[in-house]
A and B are shown apart, each in its own frame.
Chain A
C-alpha cells in the first residue's frame, strides 16, 4: 500500500517536463508503482494538450511538409513505425513491478525492480552497479545524472540495519524500491515517495525481515550527527566520487 505521493508541485513540474532530471527520475520511479499518480500526470498533460491547441500558430516554411515526407520516404516509413511502437524491452516487465526473489546473498540483488530510467544505466541489475560499503548495514551506489547538480544514488540497507542519524542540508527525495523502513515520523513501504527538507534530522531503520532498497536524490549532501561519522565524511565522499565514475563508464 503506497501512502506517500509526490505533491502537486512535483507532479505539475514533471508533467510539464520542468523538473530537474534527478527529481524527474524519482517521480518517474514512483509512477511505475502508482496508478493514481500516473492518472494525475496524464490529466496534467491534458492541460498541456489543450494549451497547445490554443496557441497562436506560427507559420512553418512553405516546403516543410514536402521536406518531411522526403525524409520519411528515404527509408524510414511504415516499417519504422512498427519498430518504434515497441519500446526497448526492459529486463523486468515494465507494467508490474516485480518483487525481488529473496536471496540469501546480499550481493545478488538482481531480481529487484529497478525504475525504467535506471535500467539502462545499471545494464539490467543492481549487481552491475559499483557499490561503496559504509559500515555493516549500508551500501551505496552513486549514480551520475549529468547536467544535474543533485546527488542521485541507490541505497541498500540490510534488514534491521540502522543508518547513522543524519541531518538534511537540502531537500531529500527517497523512493522505496524494495522492503520498508521507518523513522520517528512513520513507516514507509515499496513505492512510497518520501520528501525531507533542509534542517530535518532522522535515523531511518530498515525493517527486520527484508533488506531495503531505495532511490535517493539529494539537493545537498546530508550531514551525519555523530562526530565519528563526521570525521569519516571526507573519506566517504572521496570513495563515493571514485565509485560514481565507475557507474558512468559507458
Chain B
C-alpha cells in the first residue's frame, strides 16, 4: 500500500519511528492483505476472536446471547479478512483497527435488530477518517504509547467509567444513571482520565 509506505518513510525520516513500539500484528495483517495468507490469518484469529467475543458479550448483553456473539465474532473476523488491504498502520494499531470494526458491527447489529431502515449506512458515520495530516499521524503514534502505559495507572473510578463507555457501550447519560452520579461527575471523571492519557480535548 503506497499510503502506508509514505507514512513509514516519513516516520523514518523524522527519526520518530524508533520511539514507537512495533505493532506485533502489523506484518501478519499485511501478508493477509497482500497474499491472502491463511496461516497468518489463523494467528490473528486465535488472538482476536476470543477478545471480540468477550467484547460483544459485554457490550451487547441486552441484545445478544452467547451463540449470537459467536456469529457476530465471525462477521467481525470476516471483515478483518476482507478489509485487510485498507488497514493503514500510520493511523492506528491493529488493536484499534479491530476495535473499530467490532464497534461498527455491534451498532449495525443493534440497528438491524430495531428494524431501522437502511437509508443511512453506519460505515458512512463511523468511517475510517480520511487520512489525517502527517503531523497528526506522528503525534497519534506517540500518544498511543502513552495511552497504553497510562491506562493501567488510572484511579479505579476513572478506569471504571472508561470501561463502561468503551466496553459496556454506555453513554455518559447511561453511566450517570447506572452509577447514580450527576452527569457532570461522569463527564469530569472521563475528562480527568483523558488528560492522564494525554488526550487533550479543549472542552
Chain A interface (Cβ < 8 Å from any Cβ of B): 5-9, 11-19, 21, 24-25, 28, 31-32, 35-36, 38-53, 55-61, 64-65, 67-69, 71-72, 76-78, 80-82, 84-85, 87, 94-95, 116-121, 144-147, 248, 250
Contact = CB atoms under 8 A, between A and B. Distances in A.
B78 interface: yes
Contact of B81 (A36, A81, A95): A81
Contacts of A40: 199, 201
Contacts of A81: 33, 36, 81-85
A35 B107 contact: no
Contact of A16 (B92, B103, B133): B103
Given A47-B147, A49-B98, A52-B95, 11 more contacts: A9-B187, A14-B126, A38-B136, A43-B199, A48-B96, A49-B100, A60-B70, A68-B77, A81-B81, A120-B119, A120-B124
B95 A42 contact: no
Interface of B: 33, 35-36, 38, 42, 45-46, 49-55, 57-58, 69-70, 73-74, 77-78, 81-86, 91-93, 95-100, 102-104, 106-107, 111, 114, 116-117, 119-121, 123-127, 129-133, 136, 139-140, 143-144, 147-148, 151, 162-163, 165-167, 169-172, 174, 187, 190-191, 194, 197, 199, 201-203
Contact of B93 (A13, A38, A49, A78): A49
A24 B61 CA distance: 22
23 contacts: A5-B201, A7-B203, A8-B194, A16-B165, A28-B124, A38-B132, A39-B136, A40-B199, A46-B144, A48-B167, A49-B93, A49-B95, A49-B99, A51-B162, A58-B57, A67-B74, A68-B81, A72-B81, A81-B36, A95-B130, A117-B120, A120-B121, A145-B120
Contact of B92 (A7, A45, A117): A45
- For the residues of B in contact with A, the DSSP-based class is helix
B172 A13 contact: yes
A7 to B, nearest CB: 4
B38 to A, nearest CB: 7
A65 B82 CA distance: 15
A9 B140 contact: no
Contacts of A31: 129
Nearest to A57: B50
A84 B86 contact: yes
Contacts, number: 229
B140 A57 contact: no
Contacts of A35: 132-133, 136
Nearest to A195: B203
A161 B104 CA distance: 40
B140 A17 contact: no
A49 B96 contact: yes
A168 B76 CA distance: 41
A36 B199 CA distance: 11
Contacts of A50: 95-96, 147-148, 151
B184 to A, nearest CB: 10
Given A8-B190, A68-B78, A45 B99 contact: yes
Contact of A59 (B50, B96, B201): B50
B99 A43 contact: no
B96 A146 contact: no
A18 B167 CA distance: 10
Contacts of B162: 47, 51
Contact of A51 (B106, B121, B167): B167
A8 B132 CA distance: 20
A135 to B, nearest CB: 29
